[in-house]
Structure 1
Amino acid sequence: MPVPKSEFENRPPCDFYTPAELLENDQMYTVYEIARLLQGLEAEAEIEPETEDVLLDWAIPWIMTNANDLVVAEPRSDDEPGYYGVREDDTDDE
C-alpha cells in the first residue's frame, strides 16, 4: 500500500551508476557480481542467498537499461553464468 512521502525524512534522487562508473574496463562480471557492486559491496562479497535474490532484482533491470553500453560473453562452461563488461568502443565484438 502506498505511503505518504512525508513519512520519509530523506528522499535522495534515484541515481544509478553508469557501466563506466561501476565496472573496470578490462574486466568481465557476472550478474551476481554486478548486483553486489551496485550496493557498494565488493564483487566477491559473501552474502546470504536471500539477500542475493533481492540484489538481483536491482541488477537485472540495470543490465537491461544499460545494454547499449555493455558487452556480453557466453559462459565458459554449462555451470557458469554469462559475463558482462563495459563496451569500450566499436572494436568490441558484435
Structure 2
Amino acid sequence: MPVSKEEFDDLRALSFRDPDEVLDDDKLYTIYEIARMLQGLDPDADIDTGTEAILLDWAIPWVLTNSDEFVFAEPRADDEPGYYGIES
C-alpha cells in the first residue's frame, strides 16, 4: 500500500555505485553475492531469507541499469544461479 512521503523524516536521493566500484573485474558473481556486496557485506555473508529478498530488490535493478557493463555465464548446473561480471 503506498504511503505519504510526509510519514518519513529522511528522504534521500537514490544513487548507485558503478560496477567497477563494487566488483573485481576478473571474477564472476551470482546475483545473491552482488546483492550482499552492494550493501558492503562479504559475498559469502550468511543472511536470512527475508533480508536476502530485500537486498535482491536493490541488486536486480542495479544490474539491469548497468547491463551494458556486464557479461554473464550460464549456470554450471541446473540447480545453480547464473554468474555476472564486469565486461573487460
Give the structure 1 partner of residue 40 of structure 2: 40
Structure 1 position 82, deviation (Å)? 0.2
Structure 1 position 15, deviation (Å)? 1.4
Root-mean-square deviation (CA, aligned residues, Å) is 1.5
Q: Which residue type is aligned with residue 19 of structure 2?
A: P
5+ unaligned residues in a row in structure 1: which ranges? Answer: 89-94
Distance 1:15 1:87 in 2: 22
Q: Which runs of 4+ in 1 moved over 6 A?
A: none
Structure 1 position 4, deviation (Å)? 3.8
Distance 1:82 1:46 in 2: 19
Distance 1:38 1:13 in 2: 16
Distance 1:23 1:56 in 2: 16
Distance 1:25 1:6 in 2: 41
Give the structure 2 partner of residue 75 of structure 1: 75
Structure 1 position 11, deviation (Å)? 3.8
5+ unaligned residues in a row in structure 2: which ranges? Answer: none
Give the structure with higher Rg (CA).
1
User: How many corresponding residue pairs?
Assistant: 87
The answer to whether structure 1 residue 58 and structure 2 residue 26 are counterparts is no
Distance 1:4 1:33 in 2: 32
* Structure 1 residues 50 and 66, CA gap change in structure 2 (3 angstroms): same
